[in-house]
Amino acid sequence: MIGILAVQGDFREHELAYRRVGVPTRRVRRAEDLEGVRGLVIPGGESTTIGKLAREYGVEAEARRRYEAGTLALWGTCAGAIWLAREVEGYPDQPRLGVMEIAVRRNAYGRQVESFETDLEVEGFDRPFHAIFIRAPVITRVGPGLRVLARYQGDPVFVVGERLMATTFHPELTEDPRVHLYFARLAGAEEAARVG
């Protein structure tokens, strides 16, 4: 089962993306909702709001416990990637889980180009992935043990590790299921997927 953190942001789009490929999901709002969840998706949205609510509702503590116990994989998209990041430049008190050894700089593509689309070469994909970036953070540091699967203008935009995945773009806003399926596999929750 894939869980989708559903406190703020575009969790419905992630739900639809998994529905299209037949992977069951559950909305996660409270700690109890993580029972039986192998992989948790943290959507794009407003990272401070997501972080505050996840803390207040007990999801942060329970996700940390399950991640550290080795039973939960985590995928953050955009604001979700900020939630996972060990370091948020300029915002040391940003409420977040912080288990992934990456540093991020919020809204770092600048005001003029808040949003853009591009075709990314992704390691392991046989054709480019059309990626939508919306007020995306820039990943400025990637720790050992993590692998960069795609870059935009030299900066990492798709990073994976053991039970960890971060994308600064929004695969839930296109109909290409490959990144969602990649995470379902990484989380060991792909059994119900129709395509792979």
Residues counted in the chain: 196
Distances 13 to 43, 52, 130 between C-alpha atoms, Å: 9, 21, 16
Query: 139 or 189, CB closer to ligand GLN?
Result: 139
Taking the complex as a whole, the smallest distance from the CB of residue 172 to ligand GLN amounts, in Å, to 11
Burial class of residue 112 in the structure, from the number of CB atoms within 10 Å of its CB (0-12 exposed, 13-18 middle, 19+ buried): exposed
108 touches ligand GLN by CB under 6 A:
no
3-state secondary structure of 134: strand
Identified binder of ligand GLN from the candidate list 59, 82, 102, 187, rule CB under 6 A: 82
Q: Is 68 a catalytic residue?
A: no
47 touches ligand GLN by CB under 6 A:
yes
98 touches ligand GLN by CB under 6 A:
no
95 touches ligand GLN by CB under 6 A:
no
168 touches ligand GLN by CB under 6 A:
no
Catalytic residue among 15, 62, 101, 172: 172
Cα distance between residue 10 and residue 193, in whole Å: 22
Count of positions on this chain that bind ligand GLN (CB under 6 A): 11
79 touches ligand GLN by CB under 6 A:
yes
165's enclosing H/E stretch is strand 164-167
Taking the complex as a whole, the smallest distance from the CB of residue 10 to ligand GLN amounts, in Å, to 8
Cα distance between residue 20 and residue 177, in whole Å: 8
Cα distance between residue 82 and residue 137, in whole Å: 7
Query: 68 or 107, CB closer to ligand GLN?
Result: 107
78 touches ligand GLN by CB under 6 A:
yes
176's enclosing H/E stretch is none
Which residues make up the interface to ligand GLN (CB under 6 A)? Answer: 44-47, 78-79, 82, 106-107, 134-135
- Catalytic residue IDs: 78, 170, 172
